[in-house]
Amino acid sequence: MGYVRIVNASSSDLATAADPGRIVLLTTSHRVAPGLLSWPAWQVLRSADAVLCADGAHPQLPYLREAGTVVKEASPTAQELMDACAGGRTVVVVATGEGEPALTDGLARLAGSGRFAMPALELLPASYDLPGARLLDLVQVMDRIRAECPWSSRQTHEGLAKYGIEEAYELVEAIEAGDREELREELGDVLLQVVFHSRIAEEHPDAPFSIDDVAGGIVAKLVHRHPHVFGEEEAETPEDVKEHWLRTKAEEKRRTSVTDGVPVGQPGLALAAKLASRARTAGLDVPLPRGEDIGYELLALAVRAEAAGVDPETALRAAARVYRDAIRQAEAAQDSTPE
């Protein structure tokens, strides 16, 4: 990627002045290992007349010096930096984590005065965040909260369990409502639960694990259960994919029944549909149990919905929302009726 270039010149008189040089503001991402800089960054560092950095502890400095780049620890004013560029010289400023707001504001003031031939100012990102890089920030924030927050530092898996359920339901509600902003927020809340539990798990005295173990485990699982993507098997339809998934899952878990692993604590309609799905996928023709209780009627409805490709929980929630709106309309009509 190229430079973002801002050239300041306010009049034709400035064009005839001596070459004012250029300033390159070099920015880096703390989420990328120090020293992994772009080729344009290394080129400008090697050709610069001076390289400055206000932070003597900047993580990039040891790697720059190891590569033969002389870096001077300095925090020049805007005027001093302009003077250093005079005569067509190039000065690179390795920006600190906060950027260099005082310096750039000072240069903007000098440029606005119209009294100076300003050097070219180039913003050069030397390293870029990879996809998922902000997850590193989340882990670091969670580490600090766990250590310093009076509430978070006392939480346990058991104490947080109810929040995991609540956040999952709120995520489903955002999906069904079609609210994109709400969906983004609720996904973050669910992700927080994963990171929070993983951080707590690090402190277990006998069987600790970290967020990296959690991520590594799911990566291995996804690769193993997608042999048609990462292996030599083939899958042309969603049904083929599901067959691969269930087969490899059964091999991993060493399960003796297709019902193993179905959580009975989930909502009743979802439980019934999941059991019906397992039986149908396994090719089992199991008659539904008979009974007078309404539960058997609900079971039959859930099985019928699953066979038709309908999620009974989603269908019931949709109908319940319609019912909720009807109740609200009835309340509004009642409130508006004269006594």
**Segment 228-281, tens digit of pLDDT:** 889 888 888 888 887 777 777 777 777 778 888 888 888 899 999 999 998 988
The CATH H-level superfamily of 131-218 is MazG-like (1.10.287.1080)
> If pLDDT is split at 50, 70 and 90, which confidence band does 203 have?
very high
Q: What backbone phi and psi angles, to 5 degrees, belong to 311?
A: -80, 115
How far apart are the C-alpha atoms of 103 and 85, rounded to whole Å?
Answer: 14
Give 73's strand partners: 53
Please compute the mean of the pLDDT values over residues 88-101 and round it to a whole number: 88
> If pLDDT is split at 50, 70 and 90, which confidence band does 10 have?
very low
DSSP at 7: -
SS3 state of residue 120: strand
> Quick one: pLDDT at residue 235?
82
> Quick one: pLDDT at residue 299?
94
Return the higher-pLDDT residue of 113 and 206: 206
Q: Does the pLDDT at position 124 exceed 90?
A: yes
Structure tokens at 126: 């030397």
Give 31's strand partners: none
Contact 69, 58 (CB under 8 A): no
Angle at 189 between CA 164 and CA 311, to 5 degrees: 60
Q: Does the pLDDT at position 13 exceed 60?
A: no
77: CB partners within 8 A, 6+ apart: 103, 106
> Quick one: pLDDT at residue 240?
83
H or E stretch including 51?
Answer: strand 50-53
H or E stretch including 250?
Answer: helix 238-253
Return the higher-pLDDT residue of 166 and 256: 166
Structure tokens at 303: 């099985």
% of the chain at pLDDT higher than 70: 94
Return the higher-pLDDT residue of 215 and 99: 215
> Quick one: pLDDT at residue 339?
62
Tallying the residues shown for the chain, one arrives at 339
> If pLDDT is split at 50, 70 and 90, which confidence band does 199 have?
very high
Structure tokens at 78: 């805007």
- A 10 A CB-CB count for 122 gives 19
Q: Which fold has domain 4-125?
A: Cobalt-precorrin-4 Transmethylase; domain 1 (3.40.1010)
> Quick one: pLDDT at residue 70?
94
SS3 state of residue 5: strand
> Quick one: pLDDT at residue 129?
84
Domain ranges of the chain: 4-125, 131-218, 225-254, 260-316
Return the higher-pLDDT residue of 166 and 6: 166
Angle at 46 between CA 42 and CA 49, to 5 degrees: 135
Give 62's strand partners: none
> Quick one: pLDDT at residue 8?
47
H or E stretch including 326?
Answer: helix 312-336
> Quick one: pLDDT at residue 7?
43
Instruction: Name the nearest CA neighbour of 11 among 117, 88, 121, 110.
Output: 117
Instruction: Name the nearest CA neighbour of 300 among 267, 266, 275, 264.
Output: 275
107: CB partners within 8 A, 6+ apart: 23, 78, 81, 82, 118, 121
- Mean pLDDT over all residues of the chain? 88
H or E stretch including 316?
Answer: helix 312-336
DSSP at 243: H
308: CB partners within 8 A, 6+ apart: none
Please compute the mean of the pLDDT values over residues 322-339 and round it to a whole number: 86
Q: Does the pLDDT at position 338 exceed 80?
A: no
